[in-house]
Amino acid sequence: MFESNDLLVGTQIPPTLFLTDKDVGKLCEWRNAVMALRSAYAASRDRPALPPRTMARGDGIWLRSLTAISPSGDFMGCKLIAASPRSGYVSYLISLFNAKTMNLAALIDGNQVTGIRTAATSAVAVDAIAPHRALRVTVIGTGFEAQGQLEALASMRRIESVSVFSPSPESRARYVGKFATLIPDLRVRACDSAEDAVSGADVVICAARSRDESPVLRGAWLRPGMTVVSIGSTLPEQREVDVDVIRRADLIVADIPEEVGHETGDMLKAKDEGVIFKEKMCSLSSIVSGQQEARPTPDSIILFKSVGSALQDVVIAEMLLLRARETSAGTPIPVGIVPVE
């Protein structure tokens, strides 16, 4: 018979907190999310604290796991993504453990967290890379990710104008109308083509992929000094920007350089066509920490490419948990996982 574990005797362990997708939406504040990730990327950390992602694949299904230890040293966690491209469904779960007591501190619906951390990370990158003045922004895409990208950036930087494109006029109109309510002072105009939307932009945010995985952004449309954000190609079979974007970029900033270079369809296609990009790729952490110059010249074309990382998920989850405890949000689970010796 197992004996009771006295490892945690005298230690007050709070119950595991469950945060629903609705809880996450109420607790998140864009500026706080961006600042939390900026601090995380500026902090030095050991590679073992952020191991590569893993993926189990089946017939029309896959399960991806992302694990990390927070730079704060207080929490460590894992995000699981269960997806069925065949059926069109996906679920996200984040588990967060207390790094001192090993108890399961929180279980969080990771749906919105995924969009929040992606958009907040892009805002960190753009704020570090783009010119320090009011920005002319283009958004290609009008969905959940495209909305979050603009909201996060607007929380950090002054935006002069926004141009948006998606193939559907109805989607473009909804996007414009939504921001007229969300951020009334932000001027958003719908464009009839991606090329028209990109013209004159300082920052181009790609947050969409075409149904046939053909690129939505062409390098021929770029002008000197532009900053490009690409978040939509995270697997070998996915494409978002064409090879000319990779070729014309003077600097490629990546959240995880190894995975961006070897696991995204955009970079694999560029490699197939003989584009050498390893020498001009650097990590976002090297930019934010000041180890790498953010913009070599005012005319440099900079590409930020993101596949998403557990660091982002765990830092945002930690921020949400602390905020939930402050505001008594979430649902305590009456029974939980007991740490054992």
pLDDT tens, residue by residue, 89-128: 999 999 999 999 999 999 999 999 999 999 999 999 999 9
Residue 1, pLDDT above cutoff 80:
no
Judgement on whether residues 223 and 288 belong to the same structural domain of the protein: yes
Judgement on whether residues 188 and 301 belong to the same structural domain of the protein: yes
Whether 120 and 152 have beta carbons less than 8 Å apart is answered as yes
* pLDDT tens, residue by residue, 294-323: 898 999 999 999 999 999 999 999 999 999
| Residue 48 located in a structural domain | yes
CA 3 to chain centre: 44
Mean local confidence (pLDDT), 223-234 = 94
Q: Return the CATH number at 70.
A: 3.30.1780.10
- For residue 98, list its beta bridge partners: 75
Quick check: pTM over 0.85? yes
Residue 183, pLDDT above cutoff 80:
yes
Which among 234, 250, 238, 252 has a CA at the least distance from the CA of 312? 234
Mean local confidence (pLDDT), 124-145 = 96
DSSP H helices in the chain: 21-27, 30-42, 111-129, 144-154, 169-182, 194-198, 243-248, 257-263, 265-272, 284-288, 310-327
Judgement on whether residues 105 and 134 belong to the same structural domain of the protein: no
Orientation angle between helical segments 30-42 and 111-129, nearest 10 degrees: 70
Judgement on whether residues 64 and 139 belong to the same structural domain of the protein: no
| Residue 5 located in a structural domain | no
| Residue 157 located in a structural domain | yes
pLDDT confidence band for 11 (50 / 70 / 90): low
CA–CA separation, 259 and 82 (whole Å): 20
Q: Return the CATH number at 127.
A: 3.40.50.720
Judgement on whether residues 119 and 78 belong to the same structural domain of the protein: no
| Residue 1 located in a structural domain | no
Judgement on whether residues 76 and 152 belong to the same structural domain of the protein: no
pLDDT confidence band for 2 (50 / 70 / 90): very low
Judgement on whether residues 163 and 279 belong to the same structural domain of the protein: yes
Domain extent for 54: 17-114+311-332
| Cα dist from 49 to 163, 289, 319, whole Å | 39, 18, 18
> For the chain, what is the domain count?
2
pLDDT confidence band for 235 (50 / 70 / 90): confident
- Ranges 76-80, 133-137, 258-262: which has the least confidence: 258-262
Whether 237 and 212 have beta carbons less than 8 Å apart is answered as no
Residue 3, pLDDT above cutoff 50:
no
Judgement on whether residues 119 and 265 belong to the same structural domain of the protein: yes
Mean local confidence (pLDDT), 230-241 = 89
Residue 47, pLDDT above cutoff 80:
no
Whether 241 and 233 have beta carbons less than 8 Å apart is answered as yes
Q: What is the pLDDT of residue 4?
A: 45
CA–CA separation, 124 and 233 (whole Å): 19
Judgement on whether residues 211 and 271 belong to the same structural domain of the protein: yes
C-alpha angle 30/52/306, rounded to 5°?
Answer: 40
pLDDT confidence band for 82 (50 / 70 / 90): very high
pLDDT averaged over every residue in the chain: 93
Instruction: Count CB atoms within 10 A of the CB of residue 35.
Output: 17
Residue holding tokens 């896959």?
A: 62
CA 70 to chain centre: 16
